[in-house]
Structure 1
Amino acid sequence: MKLRKILQITSLFFIPLIVISCSQKEQIKENVNQIKPNIDIKIPKKYDQTIKVLKVVDGDTFYDSQGNKYRMLGIDTPEKTKQTDNGKESTLGLQHHYALKAQEFLSNKILNKDVQIINITLDHYGRKVVQVFINDEDLSILLVKNGLAKVAYISKDKKSRYYFKDTSYVDVLSKAQQEAMIMRLNIWSDLKKISQIYPRKGH
Structure 2
Amino acid sequence: MSPLQSKSSAILLLLLLLPWAANAGTLSVISTDRWVHVVRVYDGDTFRTTRGERVRLLGINAPEVAHNRQREQVMGHEASIRLQQLISGKTVRLSFDKVRQDDYGRTLAHIYLRDNSWVNAQLVREGLAHVYTFEPNHSRTKALLVAEKQARAAQIGIWSTDHFRVLAAGKVTARHIGQFRLITGPIEQSSGWSFQLGRLHISVPKKYRQWFKHPLQLTPGQTITVRGVIRVSRTGNYSLALHSPFDVEYSDRSIQP
Separation of aligned partners in 2, 1:68 and 1:193: 32
Q: Secondary structure at the match of 2:63?
A: coil
Equivalent residue runs for 1:50-69 within 5 Å:
50-69=35-54
Q: What amino acid is aligned across from residue 70 of structure 1 in structure 2?
A: V
In structure 2, the residue matched to 1:115 is 92
Give, in whole Å, the separation in 1 of the partners of 2:107 and 2:32. Answer: 15
- Counterpart code for 2:111: V
C-alpha distance in structure 2 between counterparts of 1:165 and 1:99, whole Å? 25
Task: Give the letter aligned to residue 179 of structure 1.
Answer: Q
Give the aligned partner of residue 170 of structure 1. Answer: 141
Q: Secondary structure in 1 aligned to 2:110?
A: strand
The within-5 A match list for 1:72-83 is: 72-81=57-66
Q: Measure the CA separation in 2 of the matches of 1:77 and 1:165.
A: 18
* Pick aligned residue for 2:120 from 140, 143, 152: 140
Aligned-pair distance for 1:199?
2.9
Structure 2 distance, partners of 1:90, 1:170, is 29
129-138 or 45-54, which moves further after superposition?
45-54
Distance 2:37 2:154 in 1: 33
* Shift in Å, 1:193: 2.7
- TM-score, normalised via structure 1 length: 0.62
Contact 1:69 1:128 (C-alpha < 8 Å) held by counterparts: yes
One-letter amino acid matched to 1:108: Q
Unaligned runs of 5+ in 1: 1-44, 83-87, 155-161
**Aligned counterpart, 1:126:** 105
Q: Does 1:189 align with 2:160?
A: yes
Deviation readout 1:77-104 (Å, 9 max, x if unpaired): 011135xxxxx12514xx1x41110110
Indicate the percent of aligned positions where both proteins have the same amino acid. Answer: 26
- Letter in structure 1 aligned against 2:75: Y
SS of 2:108's partner is strand
TM-score (norm 2): 0.50
> Could you say which residue in structure 2 is the equivalent of 1:7?
none
- Name the structure where helix makes up a greater proportion of residues: 1
Segments of 5+ residues of structure 2 without an aligned counterpart are 1-29, 166-174, 181-228, 232-257
Contact 1:47 1:116 in 2 (8 A): no
Which structure shows the higher strand fraction?
2
Higher relative contact order (CA 8 A, sep 6+): 1
Structure 2: how far apart are the matches of 1:89 and 1:124?
A: 21
